[in-house]
Structure 1
Amino acid sequence: MARKFLYVVAALIVLAIAAMFAFRLFGNDLLRRAMVPSVAFRAEPAMPGNAYADRAMWFARPGLINTPVDWLPQGLARTAPGNAEIFFVHPTSFVGTDRWNAALNDSETNGRAQVFLRGQASAFSAAGRVWAPRYRQATFGAFLTGDAAATQALDLAYRDVAAAFDTFVAEADPKRPIILAGHSQGALHLTRLLREKVAGTPLARRIVAAYVVGWPVSKATDLTALGLPECAAAGQAGCILSWQSFAEPADPALIVDQYDASTGFDGRPRKGTPMVCTNPLTGTASAAAPASVNQGTLIPDKALTDATMAPGLVPARCDERGFLLIGDNPPDLGPYVLPGNNWHVYDYSLFWANVRADALRRLAAWEKR
């Protein structure tokens, strides 16, 4: 499980290099041809009602030991966890093109998922008990096409996440508050969970915060349907955080083009609307902060099996559209920056220590209400 650390896995190397060369030399069409499955979508049955009662269906949950989320960077002492129940949905770790959804027993894909959980979900372990489900995620290519098969693949993945969430709600301590978190595809599924299973229900009162990271959320067309406001203050509970990291000069055209062509959760076009941008260094909306307030970025070692935490390396500021800019001299974390100076892969690790502190601060605020 410790063979690769954080985001450094073979598929991501292939993905980053392919994206970089395809974008610079041939444009998006070549990337789509390389990564979008050419096979028909294959419908699969829904999970049995009790599927997630099986602990084998989880990467992490109470009762499991030595899980990926238990990892901590060198030199950081382990503390008694807080009282939150944390539901974390990992990002895309399946990049296959022979099918639209990952198989649950795909060891290579599951290994990559555990890599992400070590570098992302571990930031929440101090706040409480982390639950991280396995699910039949959509392949990376599903985000590069508007084909109906892509929508079907994402729907299938969401149904698994929703089934896992139902088990989480049923088995988690009902007296404990809840933190929702995810990244990329996982964050997309969280937006649907919020709309369908949290907003307007008694469960909403238990939400400490929802970390919808690496996925755009429109302030104008999405927030109302999600049932929570954006986090405006560092000590605020019951709110949504979101950011998408870019070094400068930033070229977010790939995201903007898809975002502007999409429809918000309220049925209105998202075109031109600002995105939620929480500065993870301050925990506030649309803010700027110097590198000096960054409590720790994860820096992998040369063997790529562990990491240290280095403070004061990365600044952050939200631009007018809602992208999080990290300056023009970010640290060398590896060759996995995506086209347009997109540091998507590093959304959590750039600010790992601040995310950890943010979750604890919002949990304390919730407990004082």
Structure 2
Amino acid sequence: MRHLFLICLFILQQFAFNSQVSADYSNLDHWLIAPGQTSNIHKQFISDSSLISYADVFYVYPTVFLDKKNSDWNISIDDQEQRDRAKNVTKFQASAWSEAGRMFVPFYSQAHVRSYTNLESGGRDALMTAYLDVKNAFQYYLDNHNQGRPIILAGHSQGSTHLMLLLKDFFDGKELQKQLVCAYLPGFSVKEDEFKTIPLLTSANQTGGFVTWNTFKRRYKTKKYNDWYKGKACINPVSWDKSNLASRKKHRGFLFSDEKMYEQSFNTHLVDGAIWITTPKVPFRSLSITLKDYHIGDVNLFWKDIHYNAAERVNSFREKGIENAMNK
């Protein structure tokens, strides 16, 4: 699901889909979270709303279309099962950015998980169909809601796939880049020089670039490590730099499936292009001992770390804006 070469393939096909009919994002029912369509699924995590009036968060959820018996390439945004799955993953992922700005989460015609391994037989088209929805949702957001506010882009896995294209289409070397606080792109392989003018951010309070990571059990290297991860962009999502180790004591918190926060749960190691963690200290720990690929937990493993970091970056962005205004 993290194939780097997909990006080049997507870009080559992108213009072939411009005429395709996409969802109507003036319809509030096509948004999971937006002004006028606010969900309670992330409100429980908001205690400080001071930044919500200043910045926006545009979140794209990961692959939830997993049914092996379903032969469709894309799922309708009106499909109730997809909506329920999207709500659940949004609760455990998008909520990490809940205090960093107003939340915008569009439903989209998501590509089936098989698309990533069947590009030539329909997968590429399915992924571009999904991206067209995300692109149009973002354009609607810009036209009707943004009004010059700073922007955080946040996603995971397929969501990060689409956000990479969104960065190229709307931000990279373009005027809108001035409004970019940070693009969080976990769960997908990204080259450090993937973008022309958007850098990898290597300190906790930097703005105007992207961060990314992929999480595995300590000392585990997938068979595809050399192709997918080695030499790729990666930061430590506890220290937010390229530190080789962030100790367990520095880990702010893992949002577990029981909706409880587990702090100081594991050590975090940055190796070449990937993140290794020790076995998390959580309930049912014995079940996680055998787990080697933590892709599904790329966000909620570092939920509280992301939560604090997003606020720190927005505050840093705001301070720079005030400083620039004073110097004019």
TM-score range, shorter chain: 0.7 to 0.9
Determine the structure 1 residue equivalent to 2:232.
Answer: 275
- The SS at the match of 1:68 is coil
Whether 1:93 aligns to 2:64 is yes
Counterpart of 1:253 in 2: which secondary structure?
coil
Once residues 179 and 238 of structure 1 are traced to their aligned partners in structure 2, the CA distance between those partners, rounded to angstroms, is: 10
Tell me if structure 2 keeps the 8 A contact 1:316–1:327.
yes
1:327 deviates by 2.1
Which amino acid in 1 is paired with 2:148?
K
What corresponds to 1:40 in structure 2?
A: none
Secondary structure of 1:366 counterpart: helix
In the alignment, the residues of structure 2 paired with residue 86 and residue 108 of structure 1 have an alpha-carbon distance, to the nearest angstrom, of: 25
**Alignment partner, residue 6 of structure 1:** none
Q: Which letter does structure 1 place at the counterpart of 2:195?
A: L
Contact 1:60 1:68 in 2 (8 A): no
Higher mean displacement: 356-365 or 100-109: 100-109
Residue of structure 1 equivalent to 2:7: none
How far apart are 1:286 and its partner, in Å? 4.9
Deviates more, 1:189-198 or 1:142-151: 142-151
- 1:36 paired residue number: none
Alignment partner, residue 323 of structure 1: 274
Per-residue CA distance 1:8-63 (angstroms, 9 max, x = gap): xxxxxxxxxxxxxxxxxxxxxxxxxxxxxxxxxxx994126xx1111111000122
Letter in 1 for 2:219: P
Which runs of 5 or more structure 2 residues have no equivalent in the other structure? 1-16, 321-328
Q: CA RMSD in A?
A: 2.4
Q: In structure 2, how many angstroms separate the alpha carbons of the residues matched to 1:145 and 1:338?
A: 31
2 CA distance for matches of 1:162 and 1:284? 30
Match of 2:266 in 1: 314
1:356 to 2:307 alignment: yes
Tell whether 2:112 aligns with 1:139. Answer: yes
Whole-angstrom CA distance in 2 between matches of 1:157 and 1:235: 32
CA spacing shift, 1:70–1:256, aligned 2, 3 Å: farther
Structure 1 residues 162 and 218: alpha-carbon distance in aligned structure 2, compared to 1, 3 A threshold: same
Q: Which residue of 2 aligns with 1:84?
A: 55
Match of 1:207 in 2: 180
Call closer, same or farther: CA 1:204–1:212 in 2, change over 3 Å: same
Corresponding residue SS for 2:78: coil
Q: Distance in 2 between matches of 1:237 and 1:323?
A: 22
Q: Per-residue CA shift, 1:213-241, capped at 9, x if unaligned? A: 11110124x133xx311011111111111
Residue matched to 1:223:
195
Distance 1:243 1:168 in 2: 27
**CA distance in 2: counterparts of 1:113 and 1:338, whole angstroms:** 27
Is the CA contact (8 Å cut-off) linking 2:156 and 2:186 kept in structure 1?
A: yes
Match among 233, 246, 251 for residue 289 of structure 1: 246
Q: Residue 223 of structure 2 corresponds to which residue in structure 1?
A: 253
What letter matches 1:78 in structure 2? S
Write the distance in 2 (CA, Å) between the matches of 1:148 and 1:294. Answer: 43
Contact 1:230 1:285 in 2 (8 A): no
Unpaired runs of at least 5, structure 1: 1-42, 261-271, 302-306
Structure 1 residue 71 displacement after superposition = 3.8
- Structure 2 counterpart of 1:86, which letter? V
Compared CA separation, residues 173 and 218, structure 1 to 2 (3 A):
closer
Report the CA distance shift for 1:119/1:335 in structure 2 as closer, same or farther (over 3 A): farther
CA distance in 2, matches of 1:244, 1:46: 33
Question: Residue by residue, what CA displacement relative to the aligned partner does 1:144-201 show, whole Å, maximum 9, x if unpaired?
Answer: 2342411000010000000001011112232320000100000000000001111111
1:153 and 1:218 map into 2 onto residues whose CA distance is 24
Q: Distance in 2 between matches of 1:229 and 1:361?
A: 18
Question: What SS does the aligned partner of 2:91 have?
Answer: helix
The 8 Å contact of residues 123 and 352 in structure 1, kept in 2 or not, is answered as: yes
Is residue 253–residue 261 contact of structure 2 (8 Å, CA) maintained in 1? yes
Comparing 79-88 with 62-71, which one deviates more in the overlay?
62-71
For residues 193 and 168 of structure 1, the distance between their equivalents in structure 2, rounded to whole angstroms, comes to 13
1:112 pairs, out of 76, 81, 85, with 85
Which residue does 1:18 correspond to in 2?
A: none
In 2: Cα distance, 1:333 partner to 1:229 partner: 39
Give, as a single letter, the amino acid of the residue that structure 1 aligns with 2:318: E
CA–CA distance in structure 2, aligned partners of residues 130 and 194 of structure 1 = 18
Conserved 8 A contact 2:201-2:209: yes
Distance 1:333 1:350, change over 3 A: farther
Corresponding residue number in structure 2 for 1:238: 208
Q: Counterparts of 2:295 and 2:288 in 1: how far apart (Å)?
A: 7
Quote the sequence identity (%).
28
How far is the alpha carbon of 1:98 from its aligned partner? 1.7
Q: Specify the alignment match of 2:293 in structure 1.
A: 342
The amino acid that maps onto 1:233 is S
